[in-house]
Amino acid sequence: MLLGNWKLVFFMIGKYFFIVLILYEILYGQIRIPEFELHDRGELWDTMNDDGTHGAYPQPLGDFKPSMDWPAGPHEFNSPYDQRSYLYKAGVWTGGKINGEVFLSKNGPFEIDNGDYFPLEKTTNYIESVDYRHDEAEQTITANWITSKNIEIKRISRSWSFKGFNDFIIFDYEIKNLNQEKINDFYFGSVFLLRPSSQDFNSHAGWNDNISRADDVVGIDLEQKMIYAHDGTGSYDFNAGVGNWRDGELLTHGFAGFAAIDASNSDDGVDQPAVLYLSNYIINRANFELSTRTQQSLYSILSGQDSSLISSTGDTIDPIGIMSFGPYTINSQGSISISIVEAVNGLVYDDVINLDNSQMNTIQDRYINEGLDSLINSIQRAKDLFHSEFILPFYPPPSPPKIELLASPSNQSISILWDPIETQWINPLTGRKNLEKFIVYRSNANYIGPFDVIKNRIRVHKIFDQNAYFNEQENRWEYIDRNISLGVSYYYSITSVDSSGRESWHTNRNETPLQAVSAPKENALNIKVFPNPFQITSGIPTAGQENMITWTNLPSPCKISIFTSGGKLIKEIFHKGLTGDASWNQRTDSRLITSPGIYFWGVESDVGNAKGTLVIVK
């Protein structure tokens, strides 16, 4: 009981600390709220800002954008901790010497240079497009800015949706000297605040944002030229906290990292990056701020001259990573280019959910032992793709670009319809029209799954399947899901498979779950309530519906009144509209959660009344 009280205290401290932190960063650390565009096509999503930063924090309260999210989505959340973010914020530092005088400019993660920022440009090149260009990324976002030291920087970020290539984003930086004088001893730094431990808030008291943020295990891989981190165990962790275990699910099951791909040759011929730097940000933050340190002191860190704050591989810290390239001499109007990649990979989502406590140690061991190899594989695929000039070794067929979902309350079914793309898709490498079949997926839990296959093949060239699943009137493919449960909401996805067995990604999922509801009834004779009795949870697996109790076969409009066993009215629900269902989240009109016990309900309408008993067991 004492432990539970302390957890509640920590949770409340974390909640209000987070709000204060965001307000502080917005008001003092970053006065200008940047414009942004999203990489939101594959399994890794991130927010690209026009001020040289990427990652979503800080944000206006109630506004949540991806921040190296994996597995990512949807676009809207109820809380920042619904996200599976692995990054707090990232940016770039530039420093050098002009006429012998040292300068350093910061574009993040916090403290933004007073430069000139230009509108972002986002281009889409989706594989299902008629004019698809296979040597370009599916999403490209270009940012362009000029620092206060008259250095122009163009950042081009690229992402893809294809399996095996959708868990990384490649960044190209082009840096040009607009000064009349040359810049000596120039260094360019990619600076990032990796946060695999962001799910701490969900799994235990949330001390990642207050008492002890030193909860990430870090490392440097010199062969891969990579800085990485994974979730560890903080000093206030009351449970086995690696990976943030909660309710049979490992919330953090990936390793996150940044790696160098390519760079211009430096003056001294040193292999790039010149510096791979890790430090504990929560302890040493002031040493990385221009508000408290000189440009010379930060330049010494960027150039590798000052390593006094450095952490080592295997340390458990709150990491700030710096990947620095240089030294360069850049003549007036001269330029250099730097390319890096961010990636997240680890255990498959389906493998880390719906587990029991006996599996906890095994799955956490797998996370630690397999995560780094998965991340390295992603990094290597990104490097190979870069060096092949963004031409993939193979191309899967596209998923149908859009699916339409139609609920049919009368027969309790949901129809999924999509356009016949099989006659349009031509593989850019082989020149063949080789789309063979569609697969229908469904999830009753979340946008990110887990997804079950409910139809493993709809073969586009088979007469039997054409007769069974092609709607001639609509001129579209149609699959009718008749195996649904009343009150449960569903997510669907249609993928495509080619003759080589290569499958597309889930690019057409519905972000708002669909529920097949009953139509309004003409009387009140067959009103039912479920689950009854309610035991612990509703049994409805869809996120956010765990506490729902539903009345069905209702007339519309009507009023539902709920009473305690002593006859006290605690809740009134006024139902109207085109459905015969209404749900209750077990809160009273005073917003109090109900206690276990026996309750009475009554329905009043113009076409009749009904009443019944409801039992809540917790």
- Give phi and psi for 233, each to the nearest 5: -120, 120
Please check whether the two domains, 403-513 and 528-617, share a CATH topology. yes
More confident residue, 125 or 63: 125
Give the pair of three-digit tokens for residue 589: 């009109």
On whether the CB atoms of residues 89 and 57 are closer than 8 A, the answer is: yes
Number of Cα atoms under 13 Å in the Cβ half of residue 414: 25
Residue 79: per-residue pLDDT: 66
Q: List pLDDT tens digits, range 455-470.
A: 999 999 999 999 999 9
Tell me the average pLDDT of the chain: 88
- Give phi and psi for 393, each to the nearest 5: -70, -20
Q: List pLDDT tens digits, range 10-22.
A: 344 444 444 444 4
Residue 358: per-residue pLDDT: 87
Domain locations in the chain? 2-387, 403-513, 528-617
Q: Against a cut of 0.85, is the pTM above it?
A: no
Residue 545: per-residue pLDDT: 67
Q: List pLDDT tens digits, range 364-420.
A: 899 999 999 999 999 999 999 999 999 999 999 999 999 999 877 556 789 999 999
State the amino acid at position 357 in one-letter form.
N
Residue 240: per-residue pLDDT: 52
Q: List pLDDT tens digits, range 416-427.
A: 999 999 999 999
Q: Judge whether residue 261 has pLDDT over 50.
A: yes
Residue 246: per-residue pLDDT: 77
Question: How sure is the predictor about 434, in pLDDT bands with cuts at 50, 70 and 90?
Answer: very high
Residue 203: per-residue pLDDT: 60
Which residues are paired to 124 by β-bridges?
A: 139
Q: Judge whether residue 614 has pLDDT over 80.
A: yes
Residue 548: per-residue pLDDT: 83
Q: What is the CATH number of domain 2-387?
A: 2.70.98.40
All residues at 6 or more sequence positions from 132 whose CB lies less than 8 Å from its CB, including other chains: 125, 126, 428
User: How many CB atoms are closer than 10 A to CB 569?
Assistant: 13
State the amino acid at position 543 in one-letter form.
A
All residues at 6 or more sequence positions from 373 whose CB lies less than 8 Å from its CB, including other chains: none
Q: List pLDDT tens digits, range 226-244.
A: 999 999 875 444 445 677 7
More confident residue, 147 or 24: 147
Sign of the CA dihedral with 582 first, then 588, 592, and 597 last = negative
Q: What is the CATH number of domain 528-617?
A: 2.60.40.1930
Q: How far apart are CA 549 and CA 533, in angstroms?
A: 10
Q: How far apart are CA 130 and CA 419, in angstroms?
A: 14
Q: Does domain 403-513 have CATH number 3.30.160.150?
A: no
Q: Judge whether residue 102 has pLDDT over 70.
A: yes
Q: What is the mean pLDDT of residues 100-117?
A: 96
Q: How far apart are CA 471 and CA 473, in angstroms?
A: 6
